[in-house]
Amino acid sequence: MERLFIFDTTLRDGEQVPGCQLNTVEKIQVAKALEQLGVDVIEAGFPISSPGDFNSVIEISKAVTWPVICALTRAVERDIDVAFEALQYAKHKRIHTGIGTSDEHIRYKFNSTREEILERAVAATKYAKRFVDDVEFYCEDAGRTDNAYLAQVVEAVIKAGATVVNIPDTTGYCLPEEYHDKIKYLMEHVDNIDRAIISTHCHNDLGMATANSFSGVMAGARQVEVTINGIGERAGNTSLEEIAMILKCHKQLGIETNINTTKIYPTSRMVSSLMNMPVQPNKAIVGRNAFAHSSGIHQDGVLKNVQTYEIMDPKDVGIDDNSIVLTARSGRAALKHRLHVNGVDLTEEKLDKVYEKFLVLADQKKEVSDADALMLAGADTADTHAVRLDFLQVTTGKGVKSVASIGLDISGQKFEAAASGNGPVDAAIKALKKIIMKQMTLKEFTIQAISKGSDDVGKVHMQVEYDGALYYGFGANTDIVTASVEAYIDCINKFKKEED
């Protein structure tokens, strides 16, 4: 197996997304996660760009052990000086310097010539080499650079000491075949190409970042520059998770990475949370729908053999299991499976009747929850409880005192009460206590995170102390206040059952 090195630039290119800036503590948290994930190189920042970036590179260098810590610079001596100073505590150092090589950059950005740019490239590489052994040179906008001139630059910087040469598709312009041919051209026309690693760095402006990076790997590149969740400037960068799983799924290619793929999903979620960048539901590998199946045909196939519609095991990326989502398009097999998971097994005749009711409910809701399915199957035993919630009405808001009105059915008798409180949940529980009239103490109140959207079911876990004993209750509802009351009532029913 050949080794492909993973260069992660989440903390540099990824962090350049507007509104996604991290403080130093958060950057260290990400860097440690990347180390556990198994990335080979962490691009920690652009030290000369700001005091914050400079300090972050220093602290990240202290925090991680085995990955190479890389600092970005322009082909400017002062940039390189500052980068080396920021890398002073890194166990393994790399300076990443470079300059634009396309005619567009040479003419309009630098007002220069190809000859002058070549001289600056060589000079910057030699200067960086004075400080560190590991120097990476980037040919900015290589995607639009003439191949013959690009080969000339690559050969010159390798001769000057570059250990890695980065061939960025900076604007995301290249087609996969075009980018493949560019890397192949370099492999065939740069005499000293064997003395350096060729790296890809592709942007997703046309949605081809991963395809281009993979094409580059197939042409001979042995480092890919990526970000978690594909975040980055404009439309983003190549996704780390996509490259890692492509190679894991296609082992016949004989190329492997050091990535511990079981850490992909938790790392994805952490980065998403810290950067306030939601992962799109249909995002490959880490989107919430990546292993979800709502089509009845797909669900039936997955239940019979997961490989019918899944080329990856969700556990390989750190997800516990695939997600069978019940919708109006779900078949009997999916409903039967969800009920079985929840401990309910139905005869075919009973399943047919429940399925008819299920379709009616599914047309009313986007998704049918396990609680809904259990109710349809008659497994919901709420109707046998001594205490049941008839209705709940709450008035709350900013500058308005929360008031709750509640109605309970206790063994067939109807009771109503109202109360005010410090928030809607407090008001509702106080109204409930007026009816129950028991000395209960709320010991624990936990709301489970809502994972899909504001209309999803919120889950409440509650612990109540009564007469020296602890009782646990559970409630689930799209209204979190109602879920809280149901959890409290669940506790009441448990100790009432013991009393009876």
CA distance 180 to 175: 9
Contact between residue 224 and residue 191 where contact means Cβ atoms under 8 Å apart: no
Element of type H or E holding 324: strand 323-324
State residue 489's pLDDT score: 93
CA distance 437 to 238: 61
Query: Is 201 marked as a binding-site residue?
Result: yes
State residue 297's pLDDT score: 52
What DSSP string runs through 225-245? EEBGGG--STT-B-BHHHHHH
State residue 380's pLDDT score: 45
- Burial code (b: 16+ CB inside 10 Å, e: under 16) for 147-164 equals eebbbbbbbbbbebbbbb
Q: Residue 379 carries which side chain, given as an amino acid letter?
A: A
CA distance 401 to 393: 14
What DSSP string runs through 138-202? EEETGGGS-HHHHHHHHHHHHHTT-SEEEEEETTS---HHHHHHHHHHHHHH-TTGGGSEEEEEE
Domains and CATH numbers, the chain: 2-275 (3.20.20.70), 296-377 (no CATH), 387-493 (3.30.160.270)
127, two tokens = 């200067």
State residue 457's pLDDT score: 54
Query: Is 111 marked as a binding-site residue?
Result: no
Q: Strands 440-448 and 458-466: what pairing?
A: antiparallel
pLDDT in tens, 174-190: 999 999 999 999 999 99
- Burial code (b: 16+ CB inside 10 Å, e: under 16) for 201-210 equals bbbbbeebbb
Sign of CA dihedral 171, 268, 322, 459: negative
pLDDT in tens, 371-400: 567 667 764 445 557 899 999 999 998 888
User: Which stretches in the chain have pLDDT values below 50?
Assistant: 293-294, 302, 322, 379-381, 449-451
CA distance 290 to 432: 42
What does the mean pLDDT of the chain come to? 88
Query: Is 92 marked as a binding-site residue?
Result: no
Q: Tokens 């009313």 appear where?
A: 364
16, two tokens = 């350049």
Contact between residue 339 and residue 348 where contact means Cβ atoms under 8 Å apart: no
DSSP 425: H
Query: Is 180 marked as a binding-site residue?
Result: no
Displacement of CA 128 from its chain's centroid (Å): 35
Contact between residue 154 and residue 185 where contact means Cβ atoms under 8 Å apart: no
